[in-house]
A and B are shown apart, each in its own frame.
Chain A
Amino acid sequence: MQQRIQQAIFTLLALVIPAFALFQSYELWQAGASELDLANIIPALLLTLTYWLIGLILLLRLFQRVEARLLFLLSQCIGLALLIPLAYPDPRHAPFFALSVSITGLHFSGPLLLHLHISFPRRLGGNPWRRRILVSGYILAAASALAWWLQAAPWWQVGILYTVGVIMLAVGILIFMYYRRSSADDRQRLRLVVLGTALPTSFIIFFDMLPTLAGFSLRVPTWALALLLIFNPLSYAYAISRRDLLGVDRLLNRALVYAILSIGIFGFYLGPFLLLYRLMPENIGLQMIIISGLTLFVGWSFNGARMRVQRWADQIFYGGWYDYPGVVETVSDALAASTERSQIFAVLTRQVPEMMQLASANLWIGRANATYPHTPPQQERFRFKFQSEVPAQWTVSAHKDGSDLTENDHRILNTLARQAEIAINNMLLIETLRTQLDEIQISREALAQAQRQLLRSREDERARLARDLHDSPIQTLVGLNIQLGLLLSTSSLPPVVGEGPIGPRETISEMRAEVRGLLGELRQVCADLRPPMLDALGLGAALRAHADEWGQQNNIRVHFDAPEDITLSKLPDEVAVNLFRVAQETLGNISKHARASSVNIHLRGDEHQLQLIIHDDGRGFSKPPTLNGLPSQNHFGLVGMRERIELIGGDWSLESKPGEGTRVDVAWKHA
């Protein structure tokens, strides 16, 4: 409620100057205003409205803050105080009421200025002391104003002298605070304000007010005073926009950006629209097409244009300074999105110095247990340690223009350093994880490589063994068989008579039978080691022969579904042998576990790609979700098949459900 009342009062106060200016303009226009000329009225109006506008912006933006309300009241009073004395070449000829309003404004601006500068930038003195000073200041100002309105000589002159004194005191306090009590930040903000307040105030007091009071007719021209006095609100405006005084800069910055954008939209969109409407009022179809195109263009270009204008506005606002909340926001976002070393380095060593106008910044991230590097004493230093061993250090130097880091800079850098610590920690964790994953991947690759090598060498060894058996013992036995056959065919051997000892013919005959038996066994061993059909006839024939033989041995119906002429004899040896082994293993599994009555073997393809499907009608089984656990249960068959097919770069899959048989799918394509 209290705030509502306050807001209502301030709104009414904000209307005082425009109402007064309008009223006075009307009066002057009615009166003919012959003695006025534009050289007086325009500077006076401009100056008053500048004060009025700056006060109003501050009030709207920062109503909650006492300084803002004080600055508003002060600017309104100064605005009023300046309007009439400056608008008339000789204020004594001004209407009494108008001049009295101005003089009242002047009287109240004294204690208001005092009030402002004992509160801002630093609060001065204890509360009772402040209250006494301010209450008496305002009472005396009211009394001075009353003395003027009553024209009670000499009190109104005393009142004006009193106000001049108070203004000088307030300016003195401001200067004292600036030199003695301000931090580096405050000084940067207040340098212009002090200059903008002290210079015009002193000038107007010594060269206008005091001479007027003393009755000198020689006055400084109005335009020169206006030029000087306009420096005062402008210094506040500049401090507000460039030095972040009272944090109003962002409001002004965004207002500027969106004003420019609005004008831009009007220019690009509404302008052509209205022109079009005027030039072609009949052609609605064409209008719609062009308007849609313009709408799309505005939509498409809006974001880019906004960013460009924002950059331009930032350059104007923060060209020699920077936007504190903007820095924290932008850098925090950039750090949060950084997961790699290079990104963090870019943010901390390029982006931050650029935004904060720093001469340089360095980031060092050491190896585990390294010692921190030496830091030059003039640099600000932030040290971190991660997982209690990995050190990191971020150093930043002073501003590019050589000025020291302010308290605000330190606060921002501390905030950013905390963010950086989190970002670096995350990055190091990610790096550690990546390294571990890489190591796991490398070990897995090496293991797979070793397994493949093992498979290859085992196959090579089997082939070599089969070849050796074929070339040596089998050939010897074949030769022996022939020799024994020849021996038996010679007629010189005597036949056995009666039941006597076994004769040479029978012995040779038995030997020959044993040789043939041995030959048969060795041949089987050889065929198991390396199917001879595979080398002589290719995979197609070898599979067909093996399937026929397997079907007969196990009494299972085999349907070999493959083109008659499929030989696949040009298939790479490694591919042929591994596919054959997978088929062999699958059929072996079927005969051992499936209890199938028929098996379908489907083979299609050529030397570049082929597909092999073996499907039985057996009892099937519940397939585990992954085969990886099977070796630990001593089931190597399925995993072995998969490895063999992976070795040749093919795909292997198995489908099975209890009661629905099992299907093994192999697909291979030449790389």
Chain B
Amino acid sequence: MTSVLIVDDQPVFRRQLRQLLTHAGLEVVAEAGDITEAKAMVCQFQPEIAVVDVMLPGISGLEGTPQLKALAGHLRVILVSAYQNFEQAAAQVGADDFIPKDELDLETVLLWKGT
């Protein structure tokens, strides 16, 4: 089962995303509220995927992406945001994908499974 780490400062979103991912058959191994916490979780749980919000307190998702990737070479980072237009920036920092939050649905997350 694909293991996922959710990094977002909004608990409500984290809960809803967990439901969606679980429903899609992915395993949410941990949740984090910011990049610092996320780095610890990556080391501890070695997830395959990290879903990271762009707008995070302190270190933003864009800045955090290379840091998380540096900790685990196999980690896929998927950036998400309530805003749009971060595709280019996400690609520049080495994120594997950028998805606006309103486009997160079952079909999308199913694509992450087993990839």
Residues of A within 8 A of B (CB): 470-471, 474-479, 481-483, 485-486, 489, 515-516, 519-520, 523, 526-527, 532-533, 535-537, 541, 545, 549
Contacts and interface: CB of A to CB of B under 8 A. Distances in A.
Given A470-B55, A536-B60, A536-B86, A482 B20 contact: yes
Contacts of A474: 82
A541 B88 CA distance: 10
Interface string B44-64: 000000000011000011100
Nearest to B54: A536
Contacts of A536: 54-55, 60-62, 86, 89
Interface stretch (B35-43, B70-78, B99-107): B99-107
A482 B55 contact: no
A526 B84 CA distance: 12
Given A475-B12, A536-B55, 15 more contacts: A470-B55, A470-B82, A474-B82, A475-B10, A475-B13, A476-B12, A478-B82, A478-B102, A478-B104, A515-B102, A516-B102, A523-B83, A532-B55, A535-B55, A537-B62
A478 B83 contact: no
A549 B88 CA distance: 14
B115 interface: no
20 contacts: A474-B82, A475-B10, A475-B13, A478-B102, A479-B12, A481-B104, A482-B19, A483-B16, A486-B106, A489-B105, A519-B102, A526-B83, A532-B55, A532-B83, A533-B85, A536-B54, A536-B60, A536-B62, A537-B62, A545-B85
The A interface is mostly helix, strand or loop, or mixed, namely helix
B86 A482 contact: no
Contact of B102 (A470, A477, A486, A532): A477
Nearest to A484: B105
A485 B106 contact: yes
Contact of A475 (B82, B86, B104, B106): B82
Contacts of A516: 102
Contacts of B60: 535-536
Contact of A471 (B10, B83, B84, B89): B10
Contacts of A519: 82, 102
A547 to B, nearest CB: 13
A541 B60 CA distance: 15
B56 to A, nearest CB: 9
A479 B101 CA distance: 9
Contact of A486 (B10, B23, B54, B101): B23
B89 A478 contact: no
Q: Which of B13, B89, B102 has the most CB of A within 10 A?
A: B102
B17 interface: yes
Interface in B1-45: 10, 12-13, 16-17, 19-20, 23
A379 B101 CA distance: 95
B13 A478 contact: yes
B27 to A, nearest CB: 17
Given A481-B102, A537-B62, A541-B89, A486 B84 contact: no
A448 B41 CA distance: 51
Nearest 6 Cβ contacts at the A-B interface: A485-B105, A489-B106, A479-B16, A478-B101, A532-B83, A474-B82
Contacts of B13: 475, 478-479
Contact of B23 (A475, A489, A523, A541): A489
